[in-house]
Structures are given as structure tokens and as C-alpha cells.
Amino acid sequence: MCAARAVAPRNIPRLPVLGWNSFKGPRDSDVPSVLDARELVYTQSGRAAIALALRLLGIGHGEKVLVPTYHCPTMIVPIVAAGAEPVFYPLDVSGSPSMEFLEQHSGSGVRAILVAHYFGISQPMLRLRRLCDDAGIALIEDCAHALFGTADGRSVGSWGDFAIASLTKFLPVPEGGCLVSNIRSLSELTLQRRSVIDEVRASVDAVEIGVQHNRFPGLNHPLKALFRVKGALRRKLSSGRGSEPQPSGSMRRNGSPQTLEPAEPARAVRWIARHAARSTIVSRRKQNYVRLAELLYKIPGLRVLHENLPENTVPYVLSVLVDDPDVKYHRLRLRGIPIYRWDEVWWSTPTLPGDVGLTWARQVFQLGCHQDLSLDDLEAMASEIRQVFHI
């Protein structure tokens, strides 16, 4: 095997990017959204929304919450922070919870179950809802990957006692999540308001990233000059303090706020969530998913998990199962590909019979297919992937 060549990373947006096109097209879509729920509260992150759901359920020390073996640790942190115990359940090859396992382990001490719609592909919910009702446990629907879609004929997010979602994965915002419910009231929740500085930062961060990707025709050039001055001033101030300033924890574009505090996202985030063109988000994501799947067809050592996108599904990513994943993943990251992997799992995650969770943690790559990727971006992604897989 020859040595990997040095390459300059591509400037492909990892997540949706704010620009004029973010509001071009009808606001409404023919695919329902979690944001259409009867009760909705915007939060700083999806993780903070899970913490709020647990608080409303009164879950605390010594109680158990069923969670999937395939997870991002941010799904588990709020449970442990509440003093509860995460009990891991296995997933089948489609990513659905093992109903047999849940039926055997939904007894004493279990207060709730967290169920995720991975990659934007909804999971069957009817049987699961019945199990929760029979066992007297609460269902928290994790829609971080599925802001749009249906499950068993109903909108995602409408099956759970509560559902959570992540705005940054589908909307051009620097932060934000939400807690929703069609069953329970959220009126008792009181969230902290943001400071004026945080409000301004959220707006500036969103615009700056859009400008970096030339999403404001007519204003890109003067705004780039303005942001260069801003960067120079920041570097000058930081050199005087002897250290580089850390980015605001609540405004990092590539990750959720590292907080469980019950605080609102910035007003700009909520405004964008209400006014973004949903029809464009839905149609472009579907188109990009199909095109990227075509471009990756028959690459040795790579298999698309869901070749045919189910009806009324709006993908978060294109998920692929990869042979020899470790080296390939890091090479693709270095090349600037919008790619994710949940290879960091909670320390107590067990190995369970028939489970794909730990296999997916290593071998499933999540490839971006969001609405702000152009066809040229998809071609470039496929080209880099083909090169890495043939090194």
C-alpha cells in the first residue's frame, strides 16, 4: 500500500450555511416537521432538551432509562447528570430497538426509554408506544437526526411523551435544539434568556460562516473585509493577554453547546427556525442523498445502509458501512469531507447478542447531504472518497 499523499482540505460546508437562499421558497413543506408539534420550547441544544424532558418526568437518582448501544455520548450525559442509570438495549440491522429485549427489561425501576431515528430514517413506533403504555414508562423520541418525516403514518416526534430535536443539523444556525410534545404541557418550563452579547454573537457567527461560503451575493466582498478586521482585532487582543481566546461555548458551529442549563437559544436562531424555507430543505436533501448514493455505488469496501430513501423521509446524512474504517475516516476528515462517526461510546456500553450498535460505532460513516451542498460539492466528496478507498 502506497503512502497517503498530502492534500489541501476542501472548503465544503459541514452543516447548513446561512445565506439569501435559506429563505428562498415556500416556508411550508408537504413533509411534517417536529417543529409543528402542539407544544414546543426552543433550547440551546438537543442535549439540553433531553435534560429538560427528564426533569419534567421527575427522573432522578437510582431510576433507570433505557438507551441504545449506538449513540453519541451527549445522549447519555443528561441521564447521568440527573442521577439516573442508563440501561443499554441492542439494535437490529435496521437500527430498530430489539423489542424482545425491551419487553424483558422494561420492568422494575425503568422510568423511560430514549429511541432515536438514526440518519433521518424513521423507526417503527406503534409497537414501541404500546409497550411503553403497557409498562408504564415514558417514551422520549430522539429526533436529532429527523427534523422532518413520518413514522407509522404520524409525524416524527408525535409518538413520544416528549421529543427532542437538533436545529443545527437541518437549519443554518450556530446553536439550538427543541423540546416538543403532543401529549404533555410544556407551559411550566421557564428558560433563561440570553445576554445581549450572546445574542449578537449568534447573529454574527451565522452570517460570518455564510460569508466564508459566499452565500450573500452583493455583500460577500464588504463583509469579508469587515470580518478580516474583526479577526485582526481579536488576534491583537489575544496576543496582549498572552493566549488565544477560546470560542464561545454557546456559539460553536460544529457542536452543541456544552451545557445542560435551561437557557433559550438566541432570538436569531428562533427567527431562522420559523422563517427558513422548509420546502427547499426537504427537496434539496432528498436530491443530494439520491445523487451521493449514486456516486458511491459499487465502491469496494463501502455499502450504503439505505439505498432507497423511504417515502416521507428527509435525511440528515447518507450513512455508509465501511470496511477498515479507522484509517479511512481520518484521511477523509483531513480532506475536508463533511463526515461524522459516533466512535466515542459511553464507557459502560455492553456487548449484547445480535446487536449492531458497537459495529456501527466504528464502521458507519455519516456523510453530509444537507441542502447547502451543491452538485459540485457532492462530486468532490465522491472523488475524495474514491481516492481514499483505492489508496
pTM equals 0.92
Cα dihedral 275, 277, 278, 279 in deg (nearest 10): 150
The answer as to whether 353 is a domain residue is yes
The answer as to whether 235 is a domain residue is no
The answer as to whether 341 is a domain residue is yes
Domain count, the chain: 1
The answer as to whether 177 is a domain residue is no
Range of the domain at 339: 278-389
The answer as to whether 308 is a domain residue is yes
Domain with residue 285: its CATH number is 3.90.1150.10
Strand runs labelled E in 85-226: 85-89, 110-116, 138-142, 150-151, 154-155, 162-166, 177-181
Per residue of the chain (391 residues), give pLDDT as tens: 444 455 678 889 999 999 999 999 999 999 999 999 999 999 999 999 999 999 999 999 999 999 999 999 999 999 999 999 999 999 999 999 999 999 999 988 999 999 999 999 999 999 999 999 999 999 999 999 999 999 999 999 999 999 999 999 999 999 999 999 999 999 999 999 999 999 999 999 999 999 999 999 999 999 999 989 888 887 877 776 554 444 333 333 433 335 687 899 999 999 999 999 999 999 999 999 999 999 999 999 999 999 999 999 999 999 999 999 999 999 999 999 999 999 999 999 999 999 999 999 999 999 999 999 999 999 999 999 999 998 5
Query: What is the CA angle 227-229-235, rounded to 5?
Result: 105
Residue spans of alpha helices (H) in 152-277: 196-212, 220-241, 267-275
Rounded distance between C-alpha atoms, residue 253 and residue 376, angstroms: 23
